[in-house]
Structure 1
Amino acid sequence: MTTEIRRHELAAFLRSRRERITPEQVGLPRGARRRTPGLRREEVAHLSAVGVTWYTWLEQSRDIHVSVQVLDALARTLLLDPGERAHLFQLAGATDPTPASSCMGVTDAVRALLDRLDPIPASVQNSRYDILAYNRTYAHLLCDLDTVPPEDRNCVILMHTHPQWRESVVEHDESMRVMAAKLRASMAGHLSEPAWKMLVKRLQSESPAFRENWERYEIAAGRGKVKQFRNRHVGLLTVTHTDLWLNPELGARIVTYVPVDAETRERLEKLYALAGDPRRTVTR
C-alpha cells in the first residue's frame, strides 16, 4: 500500500469511526442544533488533546506526521476495539507500543507453566508492569481481568483507576506510593521510549494520587514481600509476592502470590474452583 493510498484510507477510517460515536458515549451533551452524525471534528480534537486544524488535516489526507501518542489518544476517544486499534496503527505506518499489540516472550511453555501454578495466582509482567499473560486464579484475584481491555492491563493503571482493583488491595494508599516509586526506578533505562512516556502521561492525566506520588521522585526496588488482598468472592488473602525472572534484561518475569497460611491456600483453591472456565466471570 503506497503512502498516499494509506493516508486516504486512514482519513476515511477516522471519519467513519467518528460518525458512529454519539456525544453521550463520551460524556458530551447532544444539543438541539446538532446535524453532524456522531462527533464533530473539533470534539474529537478536544477529547484527544490535539489541535482542531491538525485533526482536520488528518481527515483531509494531508501529509503530516502522526505520533504514537496521538494515535493512542485517538483510539481511546473513538472507542476502538483491539482490531480497530491495530488497523489504525497499521494505516498510520506506526507500531503500537502497548501490550495489546504483542505478547513477546510469552511462549506456550510459559503459558503452560502459569496454568500449572494454579491455584497460586500468577502472571507474566514486563518492567513497565504491563500484564502480558495470567492464569485463571490471577484473572479473578483483584478484578475480572478478562473484562479489562488488553491495553489497560497494566498494574499501575489498574491500581490508580480501576475501582474494584483498588478496593481489593488492603494497603491501597501505600501500594500506590510504592508503585509510583517502582515505575520511576524502572523507567530510568527507558526515558526516551514512547510507550513509557505515554503510560506516565496517561497516569498523570487520570490520577491526582499518581501525580502527587510521581512528584516525590522516590525510588523503590522490586522485591518479595507479604501482601494482603480482599477478594470479593472468598475474603481476605495473605500471600507472599515472588518474582521468577524470565528475561532480566527486558524485565520479563512471572509474578506469583504464594499463600502464607492454610486458610489463604483454601480460599485460593475455592477461588480457582469458582472461576471455572477462564472465559467466564466468577460468580458465587
Structure 2
Amino acid sequence: MPELPELEVLRRQAQKELVGRTITGVTVNQPKAINLPVDDYTKRTEGQTICAVERKGKYLALILDGGDALVVHLALGGALVLMDTAEHDPPHTPFVFALNDGRYLHAVNWQLGNISIYETSFLRAPDGPFGQLGPDAWDEISSADELRDAIGGSSAGIKARLMNQAVISGIGNAWSDEILFHGRLHPMTKTSALSDKDFDAIYRAIRDIIGAAIKAGGEGFTDLHGERGTAEESFAVHGREGEDCPGDCGGNVEAMKVAGRTGYLCPSCQKKR
C-alpha cells in the first residue's frame, strides 16, 4: 500500500512534469472510482490547467486553475504513469487523462483507489479530504515536541497511533514497523508510557527512514515515469519474519497483529513495557 514516501515521490515528479499542462480529454473506465457522474466529471476537468500539486498524508491533489482539485488516493495500490500513447487496457486502467503536450496520464493497476474532484476551497475544510487528516508526518511535524503533541498519551499502542491517519498522516503499516525498530520501541507500548527521549527517537527515525525511502523511490512503487522504487531493499524488519535481527542482539524478527494489520519487530531489541 503506498504510504507517505511513495506519494511524496509522486508529488515531486508531478510538480515538475504536470504543472502548466492542460487536460484536453478524460477517459473514465471505472465510474465507481470517481465521485460524480462521468459527464459532470469530464466537464469540470477537461480544459483545465494543472497549476499546482499538493500532498497531505497519502493523498495527492492536482490543483486546477478553474477552482477545482483532482484528489488522488491510491488506496491499496496502483500508480499514475505518464505515457506517449493513449492505448490502454480498460480493465486495468480506470482513468486516462490526455494532456496538451501530447502525453497521457494513465492510472494503472488500481486497487480500490479513486480520483475525486472537489472545489479547492473544500480540500482543508474539516470534512474535506485533507481536513480530516492529522498533521503530515513529513511536512507538518518539525520537532519531537510537535510529534508528542500530535500523538498524545493514552492506552493505545504507539504503532496503532502512528497508523491512525486522523492522528498523524502518511505513515502506514510498513514504515511504522521500520520507524519503531530504529527507535527500539515495541509496537504495543502505550503512548502514555513514552518518555521525551522516546518521542525524540521516533521523530529522528521518521526523518531518517522516510527521507531515505523518498530518495530510494519508495517501497516497490511505480513512479510517474514507470520506474520502480527500491526502498524495501533496506527494510530491517518489515516482511522479514524468521530472519536474523539486523542489530547485534542475536534475536529473530517476528510477526504480530496490531490494529488489524500484520506488523514485524525484533522482540529482543524492542521490549514491551
- Alignment TM class, shorter chain as reference: under 0.3
TM-score under structure 1 length normalisation: 0.22
Structure with greater helix percent: 1
Structure with the bigger RCO (C-alpha within 8 Å, sep 6+) is 2
Of structures 1 and 2, the larger Rg is shown by 1
